[in-house]
Amino acid sequence: MDEGETLMQQLDPKDESKLFLWRDFVSHHRIKDDCVPLFQLEGRRVETTPFGRDNRPVLKRSGPMEDLMRKLGRDLIEEHRQSNIQHDGILYMMLTQRSTGVIPLYIGKAELFGKGDRNLSVNISDLDRGKGKFGRWGYNYAYHLGDLSAVTCPGHSTSKKTKKYESWRNKLFSVDGQCVTSKIDILFWATNWGEGSQSIWRQYGHTKLAFEEYLLIGVASDVFPDDLLNHEGRNR
């Protein structure tokens, strides 16, 4: 019996249709083919880079991940500059792969507009040349890699350490002093989400970015409850 058959047997019968939805979404968006490494690795060791005025070590994004996000961000910046808005922002996924296919680890979004009157979000504008916010994957605190680094690397204040990112660290890494080793292949996929983007719920038609994130987390939490690191939006 292969892993795919095992996964089907483990699912509640009503969840099998959700697995088909998931696989269809993954296939349509070419997630398996288009994903890139999230971290810069030497073997399986995750490299770090100094950041901030205190030169604290942070887990380093891979070059392909940075290139992908900057391309998406710059396309959105240009849409906003020309007042020709085609997308709501960036839909992203941290994932791994097994013989069963793409396994979601975290699903999220970076919306085009900020809190003002259709102003460009700093999460998007930072993708032009910045490092700290980077479409939610920045090295600043209150961003994914800043907070994950706080619980993984030395030199961070205990006040910056959170239970959420401790669960990320425990899922993703083995830590021995300053040596951080990936337990699994940690990959990343992202796309600009707009009117022409195919939802995981095809019959519904076009979905806005925030709703699509909600749908994906709900389906993934049913099919991959032991893998998904999202705490909010889960269906269980």
Residues ≥6 apart with Cβ < 8 Å to 1: none
Report how far Cα 195 is from the mean position of its chain's Cα atoms: 21
Rounded to the nearest 5 degrees, what angle is found at the Cα of 151, between the Cα atoms of 146 and 155? 80
Distance between CA atoms of 107 and 217, rounded to whole angstroms? 6
Report pLDDT for 2: 44
Report pLDDT for 99: 93
Report pLDDT for 192: 98
What sign has the CA pseudo-torsion 226, 187, 146, 81? negative
Report pLDDT for 232: 86
Distance between CA atoms of 227 and 122, rounded to whole angstroms? 30
Distance between CA atoms of 109 and 175, rounded to whole angstroms? 28
Report pLDDT for 14: 60
Report pLDDT for 90: 98
Report pLDDT for 1: 40
Report residue 137 as tokens. 């994957």
State whether residue 157 is helix, strand or coil: coil
Instruction: Show pLDDT as tens, one digit a residue, over the chain (236 residues).
Output: 444 445 444 555 567 899 999 999 999 999 999 999 999 999 999 999 999 999 999 999 999 999 999 999 999 999 999 999 999 999 999 999 999 999 999 999 999 999 888 899 999 999 999 999 999 999 999 999 999 999 999 999 999 999 999 999 999 999 998 999 999 999 999 999 999 999 999 999 999 999 999 999 999 999 999 999 998 877 65
CB 22, CB 192: distance < 8 Å? no
Report pLDDT for 236: 57
Residue with tokens 């005025």: 53
